[in-house]
Each structure stands twice: as structure tokens, then as C-alpha cells.
Amino acid sequence: MKQLIINADDFGRHRLINEAVEKAYRQGCLTSTTIMAGGKAFDDAVDIALRNPELGVGIHFTLANGFPVMPAKKIPSLVTREGYFHPNYSIFAKLYMQGKINRAEVQAELDAQLEKVMYSGIRPTHFDSHQHLHHFPGILGVAIKLAKKARINAMRVSSTKVFSGNIDGLGTFIGRLGLSSLAKIAANTARKSGMATPEHFIGNVSGESITKEFMVDLINNLEEGTTEVMLHPGVDNKILQYFCDWDHDFEGELEAVTSPKVVKLIEDKRVYLVNFSDLRAPK
């Protein structure tokens, strides 16, 4: 059997992302999203989630490139002088490897994020993380422990292919190689912990966008089992590229998952659209 989870990250980051998530769910083939507890449009995202109860909503744990839930003075190793998270995963990773990230603060912040999401009335279907930081040794264990306590039994494994998409430099290659290696360890750890994970992962982790043509090719050649497709849809590239400081085709990804051609092809190929709540945990 072939199953697709089509998941939009960064739910709650901006209203224009939230709008795209709801549109992609109602008019397209989106089945799942992950919410950022510290996102500026969190409350709007909660409203959308609650009025679309069949949409799978997980938690998008965030430790970089965003805003904390805890007061900055209580998590000094995680934030800049301005009280924001460090700008990106590479800066976080460097500090983490230097021992400058306090793991107790990591646990406190992730716990606060999860508590905020659950207090809103959302019961997360799974967890993943912004810029894949839940794959880091030490952080993975904390995330799984918190998830299990909250009865969340599924997680993303970003098992990206090293040579997929464009490789625009040595940094991109090294980043993909590192994530691929960490993902293999994360998958094994997750299964031993009783966490369900999709068999396959599709996501252009270096910033390239999912296109309509990509989705058509994917569906025509879909592997057996469950495949998660990660994307970041939005309704206004100009505003979102500035807000996120990211040259990403948000509109193109929204088009890819609302395309009538893509939706019909999924039906014709008898591919089942599911979310993380449909996964079975390993015995």
C-alpha cells in the first residue's frame, strides 16, 4: 500500500503561511502541518487547526531562527542579546558542539513549547523541528521523552538523500551528509523508543522548492509504504521572503499541492492521503 503524508512546516510563523496551510488542506492534498509555539501568528494557526479537526497538527520544536516561549533570561544560552533564538542551525550547531548550549535550558524551552500547544486545545499528532535540530544527539532524547509524556507517538525522520536536488557548494553537501547520518541514528532511536516514523522522507532540505512537476514525478514513482513530503507553502513570496529572510518559493509550493492535476493523479494512482496519526508504532 502506498500512503502520502504531505506536511507543511512553520504553521503559526506568519498569517500568510497559515492562510496557505488552510487553503492547501481544503482545496488540495495537504494532510498535515506542524505548529511553531513561538510563532507570531500562533493564535491564528490555532483557530485554523480547531476549525479543521481532520487536519493533522504536530509540533514544530524550535531552537533556532525563531522566538522562544520561555523568558529569555531563563534560557540565556539559547538566545541572542535581543532575546531571539540564534539565527540559524549552523550557528546553533557550532555553539552546541562547543558545549555552549545548556541542555537543561533546551528541555525547559521544548517543554514550554509543548505545554503551550496542548493548552491551546491541539493534541499533536507528531513532532518534528525547525531546521531539523531534533536529530542532534542529546536533543533527540529530550524531544522523545517529552513527546512520550504527552502521548505523542510519531516523529519525522529527515532521511534526505545526499545527492537529491541542487548542490550549490561544499557547505550544502556537508550539511546533507551530516543530516543524512544523523537521520539514520534518529530513526533507530525512535523505533527503539516506540515512536512511529514514515518509511520515506521527501524534502528539499537546502531550500529548494517542491514544484508541481516534482509532485507528479513523485506520485508516478511512489514507493510502497508511507512517504512524508515536507514543504513550506505561503501566499505571498515578497512578504514572506522578507519576513523569513529566506529566498524560498512559498507560492510555488502552494500551487504544487493545490494543483488539480496533482490531486487527480493521487486519486488515479490509488495513493492514500494520511497524516501521522494513522501511523502504527513499532512493536
CATH architecture of the domain formed by 2-278: Alpha-Beta Barrel (3.20)
Query: Given this model, what pLDDT does residue 174 score?
Result: 44
Cα 53 from chain centroid (whole Å): 19
Q: Which residues contact 27 (CB under 8 A, 6 or more apart)?
A: 258
**Pairwise CA distance, residues 195 & 150, whole Å:** 13
Q: What angle do CA 272, 277, 279 make, to 5 degrees?
A: 65
Can you point out the beta strands (E) in the chain?
Answer: 2-11, 32-35, 56-61, 127-129, 200-202, 225-231, 272-273
**Pairwise CA distance, residues 93 & 203, whole Å:** 21
Q: Are 66 and 88 in contact (CB under 8 A)?
A: no
Q: Which residues of 68-93 are buried (b: 16+ CB within 10 A; e: fewer)?
A: bbbebeebeebbeeeebbbeebeebb
* Percent helix / strand / coil, the chain, rounded to 5: 45, 15, 40
Q: Which residues contact 226 (CB under 8 A, 6 or more apart)?
A: 3, 4, 5, 198, 199, 200, 274, 279
Query: Given this model, what pLDDT does residue 204 score?
Result: 66
**Pairwise CA distance, residues 190 & 282, whole Å:** 9
**Pairwise CA distance, residues 222 & 200, whole Å:** 10
Can you point out the beta strands (E) in 156-235?
Answer: 200-202, 225-231
List the end-to-end C-alpha distance of the chain, in Å, as a whole number. 20
**Pairwise CA distance, residues 208 & 143, whole Å:** 27
Query: Given this model, what pLDDT does residue 282 score?
Result: 76
Residue ranges of the domains in the chain?
2-278
Q: Going residue by residue through the chain, which has 283 residues, state the pLDDT in tens, using 9 for 90 and above.
A: 999 999 999 999 999 999 999 999 999 999 999 999 999 999 999 999 999 999 999 999 999 999 999 999 999 999 999 999 999 999 999 999 999 999 999 999 999 999 999 999 999 999 999 999 999 999 999 999 999 999 999 999 998 664 455 545 434 444 555 677 899 999 999 999 999 999 999 986 545 789 999 999 999 999 999 999 999 999 999 999 999 999 999 999 999 999 999 999 999 999 999 999 999 877 6
Nearest-10 crossing angle of helices 212-220, 260-268 = 0
